[in-house]
């Protein structure tokens, strides 16, 4: 009989969120022949995108938000009822749990009363509690609520049999923060990438057309930033620190994405007379974005040195690498680790960029190390983790 596995996360399954990409792409790697696999999630915003998943797996959409306390309570209670009901049909073998901890708030009762043999795998992508407060998603009664969440996390971790951490630093943080005794019951798995989607060829005529549309001169070095332009990212400070060099060199920045720091960024640009050096575009469908990717010269991976980003494993860097384009990246520990495998592709900077050392039109054959981070490799990591759990 096929093993029964439930993946649980109270999050929105939305096209532009990294967690949406992760859950949908990973599940595409599984087949109905391997496991009876079910997904319990918060809200699904795009049914068309998950049609394949509905055809192959059981999906429970609870219409909740991870950033509302009452929604988390409802999600936890509803998840418990689903697990009890589905466990009666067929014993559940593995619960694959993701943040927030409302995903498995009642796991103690489920394990003690309904299924003592179920194994719990906790997938830890970030210090999610600290990030929630830093992003002001949970601002009311901040200190009390944060303490409660940390205590509940520590209690729930006692039910975990196996961990998947995004990097060694995050594992060390969890061991220290929650007094965990982790030996051989964990693995680390960095970010992931759909290589074929990004590694495309765009005709020169189409590239020229896009450059003309954006009024980019032939001698200009084009540097792109794609993602959230929030105050947390400190992009205003980046522009201020590099204003003099930007003014003195034939360079143009193109920023794509949503922002909450528009006023500060525009003020810094205007004050330093950089209006002609920056282009801001609203978010666009990924298919169009990938075409635009191939007209620029460098990706900007600017992530400030603050706690929640300190040793993150950013998915975007691997997407940039799959595009066969060079990257300018801040000297975060995670970026320095990635550079060991992709030395010529990544230029590290501390505060200011040396634009004179950057080259236009630099493409290369794709670095074979990138294939360690494709979806099939990620799937094998999780499959091996499931096998380890099922042995116990």
Sheet-wide strand order for 251-256: 278-281, 251-256, 221-226, 298-301, 327-330, 346-349
The model carries a pTM of 0.80
CATH topology for 3-192+374-391?
Rossmann fold (3.40.50)
Region label for 109, one of left (φ > 0), alpha (ψ between -120 and 50) or beta (otherwise):
alpha
C-alpha–C-alpha distance, residues 389 and 392, integer Å: 6
pLDDT at 278: 93
pLDDT at 139: 56
pLDDT at 81: 95
C-alpha–C-alpha distance, residues 81 and 83, integer Å: 5
What are the structural domain ranges in the chain? 3-192+374-391, 195-371
pLDDT at 126: 80
Residues 6+ apart with CB under 8 A from 315: 18, 21, 191, 192, 193
Do 97 and 124 form a contact (C-beta atoms < 8 A)? no
- Three-state DSSP class for 207? helix
C-alpha–C-alpha distance, residues 280 and 283, integer Å: 10
Residues 6+ apart with CB under 8 A from 222: 211, 216, 251, 252, 254, 295, 296, 297, 298
**Cis bond before residue 100 (omega within 30° of 0):** yes
Q: What is the CATH number of domain 195-371?
A: 3.40.50.2000
pLDDT at 362: 66
**Mean pLDDT in order along the chain per 10 residues (392 residues):** 89 64 75 82 72 79 84 90 96 90 81 92 85 63 79 89 87 90 84 74 78 83 85 89 94 84 89 92 72 81 79 74 86 84 89 86 75 82 88 79
pLDDT at 18: 63
C-alpha–C-alpha distance, residues 268 and 259, integer Å: 15
pLDDT at 118: 95
- The answer to whether domain 3-192+374-391 and domain 195-371 are alike in fold is yes
Region label for 360, one of left (φ > 0), alpha (ψ between -120 and 50) or beta (otherwise):
beta
pLDDT at 372: 83
């Amino acid at each position: 009989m096929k093993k029964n596995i439930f993946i649980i996360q109270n999050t929105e399954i939305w096209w532009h969120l990294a967690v949406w990409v992760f859950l949908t792409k990973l599940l595409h790697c599984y087949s109905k022949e391997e496991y009876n696999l079910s997904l319990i999630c918060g809200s699904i915003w795009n049914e068309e995108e998950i049609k394949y998943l509905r055809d192959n797996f059981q999906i429970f959409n609870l219409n909740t938000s991870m950033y509302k306390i009452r929604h988390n309570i409802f999600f936890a209670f509803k998840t418990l009822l689903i697990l009890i009901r589905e466990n009666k049909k067929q014993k559940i073998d593995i619960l694959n749990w993701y943040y927030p901890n409302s995903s498995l708030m009642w796991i103690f009762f489920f394990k003690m009363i309904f299924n003592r043999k179920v194994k719990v795998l906790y997938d830890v992508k970030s210090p999610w509690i600290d990030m929630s407060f830093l992003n002001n998603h949970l601002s009311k009664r901040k200190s009390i609520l944060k303490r409660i969440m940390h205590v509940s996390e520590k209690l729930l971790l006692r039910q975990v049999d196996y961990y998947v951490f995004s990097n060694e630093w995050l594992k060390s943080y969890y061991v220290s923060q929650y007094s965990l005794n982790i030996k051989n019951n964990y693995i680390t798995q960095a970010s992931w990438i759909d290589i074929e989607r990004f590694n495309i060829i765009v005709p020169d005529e189409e590239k020229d057309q896009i450059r003309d549309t954006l009024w980019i001169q032939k001698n200009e070095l084009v540097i792109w930033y794609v993602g959230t332009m929030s105050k947390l990212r400190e992009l205003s400070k980046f522009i201020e620190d590099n204003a003099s060099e930007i003014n003195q060199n034939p360079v143009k920045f193109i920023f794509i994405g949503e922002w909450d720091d528009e006023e500060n960024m525009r003020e810094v640009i205007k004050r330093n007379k950089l209006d002609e050096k920056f282009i801001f575009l609203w978010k666009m469908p990924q298919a169009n974005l990938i075409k635009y990717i191939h007209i620029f010269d460098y990706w900007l991976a600017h992530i400030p040195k603050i706690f929640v980003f300190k040793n993150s494993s950013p998915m975007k860097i691997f997407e940039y690498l799959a595009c066969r384009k060079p990257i300018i990246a801040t000297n975060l520990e995670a970026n320095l680790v990635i550079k060991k495998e992709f030395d010529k592709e990544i230029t590290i900077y501390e505060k200011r960029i040396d634009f004179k050392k950057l080259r236009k039109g630099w493409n290369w054959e794709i670095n074979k190390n990138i294939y360690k981070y494709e979806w099939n490799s990620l799937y094998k990591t999780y499959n091996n983790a499931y096998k380890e759990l099922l042995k116990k």
